[in-house]
């Protein structure tokens, strides 16, 4: 805002007096103004179409823990990015403070492009830890933009008041030898499944049989060679299929065992009939019924007397329940030494 008085604003008398005082002060500056006031215009909109490309390959770590793959490849990428002036005061102070007329983007584009490309390598290294494949990088452009802003914070944001808005990547290119190496590792990892290895072996045997039938020396000669090769292989397709089926059965058995254990720990709510596994019903919130003792008449009771025939609870078979937290062991007659919930020892105070 202006600090010079004006007769066109404020009270006329005070403004007129201030104007004459200013005229008097100008004599000390040789008739010139004692204060320099300027107006600068900044384009704070998103600055688009900034093309970039990597002149040299950038190392990229390819990780796939499913097949045990962990290798470094060289990638090339290109695309465009956009940025904006997020802090005009900082941009003026450190970039355009000594500019006399105007400052256009072409005066800084080459510097920004070089710094942008140099920041790609640490950003790619961070993305590779997410097990992102090179061909999936264009789908993580927003994450890449965030990482680039982190890498360029000191040079762009804190020094020049700039911020990256968006990044668009073209398809990533790999050298043929690196691409073939990844494919071989994926095929090798696929063969770790016995069923898949057996299917591949059957396909190879079918191709060999077709080649043997077309043998110029006669089909018999070809099939004899096929039989010798089959014996030398040492592994039969049937063995691989049986191994794969056994692995599948073992996995199903483990799931059933887990499900069976859950069924043992479950209980039926007496209020709503819902089957739950915790201390409270997941449907109505009712608490799990306490495990009581069985009378000679067959009735399960909770108190000291049978509510069906009136007989007292038999001595010598006390039921335990933690008096501190309410934990009830699976076998109330044979509790552990200490409560697994609160650590309180089981003693006569815990007898129901």
Output the 3-class SS for 214-281.
CCCCCHHHHHHHHHHHHHHHCCCHHHHHHHHHHHHHHHHHHHHHHHHHHHHHCEECCCCCCEECCCEC
Residue 79 pLDDT exceeds 60 = yes
Residues of the chain with CATH 3.30.479.30: 47-178
Which residues, including other chains, have CB under 8 Å from residue 8's CB and lie 6 or more apart?
Answer: 15
∠ CA 211-183-137, rounded to 5°: 150
- Summarize the confidence of residues 308-325 as an average pLDDT: 76
pLDDT score of 256 more than 60: no
pLDDT at 44: 94
pLDDT for position 42: 93
| Residue whose C-alpha is closest to residue 146's, from 173, 119, 171 | 119
pLDDT at 252: 61
Residue 195 has a pLDDT of 61
pLDDT at 1: 46
Q: Residue 337: pLDDT band by 50, 70, 90 thresholds?
A: confident
Within 10 A of 167 (CB to CB), how many other CB atoms are there?
25
Q: Name, in order, each residue with C-beta under 8 angstroms of 164's C-beta and a sequence gap of 6 or more.
A: 81, 82, 83, 116, 145, 148, 149, 152, 156
User: Does 319 or 21 have the greater pLDDT score?
Assistant: 21
Q: Kindly compute the dihedral angle of the four CA atoms of residues 193, 195, 201, 205, in this order, to the nearest 10 degrees.
A: -170
Angle between helix 237-265 and helix 194-213 axes, rounded to 10 deg: 160
Architecture of the CATH domain 47-178: 2-Layer Sandwich (3.30)
Rounded CA separation 141/137 (Å): 7
Q: Best-predicted range by mean pLDDT among 61-70, 197-206, 220-229, 249-258?
A: 61-70
Average pLDDT for the chain? 77
Of the ranges 37-46, 183-192, 284-293, 312-321, the best mean pLDDT one: 37-46
CA distance 86 to 165: 10
Q: Output the pLDDT for position 47.
A: 95
Contact 286, 269 (CB under 8 A): yes
Which of the four pLDDT bands, split at 50, 70 and 90, describes residue 68? Answer: confident
pLDDT of residue 71: 86
CA distances (Å), origin 310, targets 291, 304, 305, 351, 352: 19, 9, 6, 20, 18
pLDDT computed for residue 8 by the predictor: 74
How much is the pLDDT for 315? 66
Whether the per-residue pLDDT at 262 is higher than 90: the answer is no
Q: Which of 175-184, 242-251, 279-288, 338-347 has the lowest mean pLDDT?
A: 242-251
Q: pLDDT value at position 232?
A: 46
- Residue 203 is predicted with a pLDDT of 65
Are 132 and 62 spatial neighbours (Cβ–Cβ below 8 Å)?
Answer: no
């Amino acid at each position: 805002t202006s600090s010079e008085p004006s007769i066109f604003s404020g009270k006329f008398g005070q403004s007129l007096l201030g104007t004459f005082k200013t005229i008097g002060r100008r004599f000390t500056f040789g008739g010139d103004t004692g204060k320099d006031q300027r107006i600068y215009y900044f384009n704070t909109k998103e600055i688009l179409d900034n093309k970039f490309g990597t002149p040299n390959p950038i190392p990229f770590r390819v990780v796939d823990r499913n097949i045990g793959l962990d290798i470094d490849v060289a990638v090339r990428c290109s695309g465009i990015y956009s940025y904006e002036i997020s802090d005009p005061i900082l941009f003026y102070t450190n970039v355009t403070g000594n500019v006399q007329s105007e400052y256009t983007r072409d005066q800084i584009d080459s510097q920004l492009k070089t710094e942008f490309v140099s920041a790609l390598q640490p950003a790619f290294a961070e993305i590779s830890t997410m097990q992102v494949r090179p061909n999936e990088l264009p789908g993580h452009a927003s994450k890449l933009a965030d990482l680039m802003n982190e890498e360029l914070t000191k040079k762009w944001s804190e020094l020049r008041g700039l911020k990256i808005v968006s990044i668009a990547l073209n398809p990533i290119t790999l050298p043929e030898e690196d691409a073939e190496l990844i494919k071989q590792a994926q095929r090798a990892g696929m063969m770790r499944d016995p069923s898949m290895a057996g299917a591949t072996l059957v396909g190879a045997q079918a191709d060999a049989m077709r080649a043997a039938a077309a043998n110029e020396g006669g089909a018999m000669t070809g099939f004899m060679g096929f039989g010798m090769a089959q014996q030398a292989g040492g592994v039969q397709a049937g063995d691989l299929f049986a191994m794969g089926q056994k692995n599948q059965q073992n996995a199903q058995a483990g799931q059933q065992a887990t499900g069976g254990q859950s069924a043992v720990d479950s209980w039926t709510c007496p209020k709503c009939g819902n089957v739950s596994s915790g201390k409270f019903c997941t449907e109505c919130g009712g608490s799990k019924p306490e495990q009581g003792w069985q009378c000679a008449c067959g009735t399960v009771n909770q108190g000291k007397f049978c509510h069906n025939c009136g007989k007292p609870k038999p001595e010598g078979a006390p039921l335990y329940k933690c008096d501190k937290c309410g934990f009830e062991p699976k076998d109330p007659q044979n509790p552990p030494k200490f409560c697994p919930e609160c650590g309180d020892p089981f003693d006569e105070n815990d007898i129901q």
